[in-house]
């Protein structure tokens, strides 16, 4: 895969990799489910409560437009992301929606006891049957100082495969810990997804026969190799009889190219301030200067798979990306500079790539 494409400048029309006309990539977007990852962004001059209510509005609009799931990610000690208590946020959004699936994208399992996660998501599944997903990651979702504040050891990640199996046992009702059951949780069979950006997660998902979500929206490097490895090594399981790949991609769909590029620049500056600002709020000029440094260029490369433009251009990019990633489903991160911009992007994408369910 990947033949006939070129790497475009991060400020160009599509913000990352731009497909050329006439490629041999499979045109498959019409049959590819579109899911959403909501990072519960806390905007400038916004309170955390505003961001959480924005997540409710976002999910309700996504449900109206026919998107089939929204996931939330566990991040800690990040001033711009409000989804750290992932299960609590899912519960709140679920109570204000009716049909759309909701889940974690993901819970960082090394930060938690598998039993506690089974109880939390078992509770969610009992309250909202058939609507809850549980995506699992191995990274801490934070820095090492915050990891210590979470009372977890960096070595906790070494037990990730065993913890996934323990969690699976609690949810299936076939506990691996004699005499210990998850109540709620037992027998709910909440579907599990392994999330990652390396060969490790691909191999684990394949060995356990679970769906695999690749974090190509911010860690694109190993996408093609990891997906190929997962498909080659996949072993069928009770949950899944064939490989299933979800690939992350960033989207800014706007009514004009100018608006899309303005929003893209905003998100790049915001990322610089968050990751390289050292706790300071950088001016636009300071952020732009950093973006021209090697560190800044590396930061741009993290969002290599970004479609920013008018709806038709975004649709064309996603058609290419679905084939390039060999994905069964796309996990879209709408990066608009405000909630209204993200909602507009959501609507425009739905108009040109009508959401379908798996």
What pLDDT is stored for residue 22 in this prediction? 37
What pLDDT is stored for residue 141 in this prediction? 61
**Which residue would you say has higher pLDDT here, 297 or 227?**
227
Cα separations (Å) of 175 from 170, 171, 337, 353?
5, 8, 45, 42
Q: Which domains does the chain have, with CATH numbers?
A: 1-25+250-358 (no CATH), 32-190 (3.20.20.30)
Cα separations (Å) of 112 from 120, 195, 269, 284?
11, 16, 33, 38
CA-CA-CA-CA torsion sign (171, 72, 129, 100):
negative
What is the C-alpha to C-alpha distance for residues 38 and 70, in angstroms, rounded to an integer? 7
- Which tokens hold the place of 192? 């599990």
CA-nearest of 101, 137, 100, 97 to 117 is 137
| pLDDT, tens digit (0-9, with 9 covering 90-100), for 90-147 | 999 999 999 999 999 999 999 999 999 999 999 999 999 999 999 999 986 667 787 7
What is the pairing mode between strands 306-309 and 132-137? Answer: unpaired
What is the C-alpha to C-alpha distance for residues 236 and 209, in angstroms, rounded to an integer? 5
> Helix, strand, coil: what percent of the chain each, to 5?
45, 15, 40
Q: Which residue has the tokens 């997906």?
A: 227
- Which tokens hold the place of 154? 């960096």
* Residue 297, C-beta contacts closer than 8 angstroms, at least 6 positions apart: 291
What pLDDT is stored for residue 45 in this prediction? 86
What pLDDT is stored for residue 279 in this prediction? 65
| pLDDT, tens digit (0-9, with 9 covering 90-100), for 191-235 | 999 999 999 999 999 999 999 999 999 999 999 999 999 999 999
pTM of the model: 0.90
Cα separations (Å) of 356 from 56, 68, 282?
21, 7, 40
What pLDDT is stored for residue 244 in this prediction? 98
As a whole number, mean pLDDT of residues 236-257 equals 97
């Amino acid at each position: 895969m990947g033949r006939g494409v070129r790497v475009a400048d991060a400020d160009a029309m599509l913000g990352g990799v731009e497909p050329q006309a006439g490629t041999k990539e499979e045109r498959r977007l019409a049959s590819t489910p579109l899911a959403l990852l909501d990072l519960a962004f806390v905007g400038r001059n916004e309170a955390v409560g505003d961001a959480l209510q924005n997540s409710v509005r976002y999910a309700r609009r996504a449900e109206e437009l026919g998107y089939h799931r929204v996931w939330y990610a566990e991040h800690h000690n990040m001033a711009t992301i409000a989804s750290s208590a992932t299960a609590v946020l899912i519960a709140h959004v679920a109570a204000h929606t009716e049909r759309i699936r909701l889940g974690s994208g993901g819970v960082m399992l090394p930060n938690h006891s598998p039993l506690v996660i089974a109880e939390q998501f078992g509770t969610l599944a009992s309250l909202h049957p058939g609507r809850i997903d549980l995506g699992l990651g191995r990274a801490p979702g934070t820095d090492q100082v915050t990891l210590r504040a979470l009372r977890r050891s960096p070595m906790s990640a070494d037990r990730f495969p065993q913890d996934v199996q323990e969690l699976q046992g609690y949810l299936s009702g076939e506990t691996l810990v004699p005499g210990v059951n998850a109540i709620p949780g037992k027998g709910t069979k909440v579907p599990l997804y392994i999330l990652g950006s390396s060969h490790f997660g691909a191999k684990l998902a394949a060995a356990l026969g679970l769906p695999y979500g690749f974090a190509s929206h911010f860690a694109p490097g190993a996408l093609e190799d990891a997906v190929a490895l997962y498909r080659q090594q996949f072993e069928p399981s009770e949950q899944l009889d064939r490989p299933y790949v979800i690939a992350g991609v960033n989207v800014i769909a706007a009514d004009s190219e100018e608006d899309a590029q303005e929003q893209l620049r905003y998100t790049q500056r915001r990322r610089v301030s968050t990751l390289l600002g050292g706790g300071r709020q950088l001016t636009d000029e300071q952020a732009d200067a950093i973006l021209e440094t090697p560190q800044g260029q590396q930061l741009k490369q993290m969002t290599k798979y970004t479609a920013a433009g008018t709806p038709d251009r975004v649709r064309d990019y996603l058609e290419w990306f679905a084939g390039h990633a060999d994905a069964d489903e796309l996990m879209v991160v709408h990066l608009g500079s405000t909630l209204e911009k993200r909602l507009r992007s959501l609507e425009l994408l739905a108009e040109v790539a009508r959401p379908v369910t798996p």
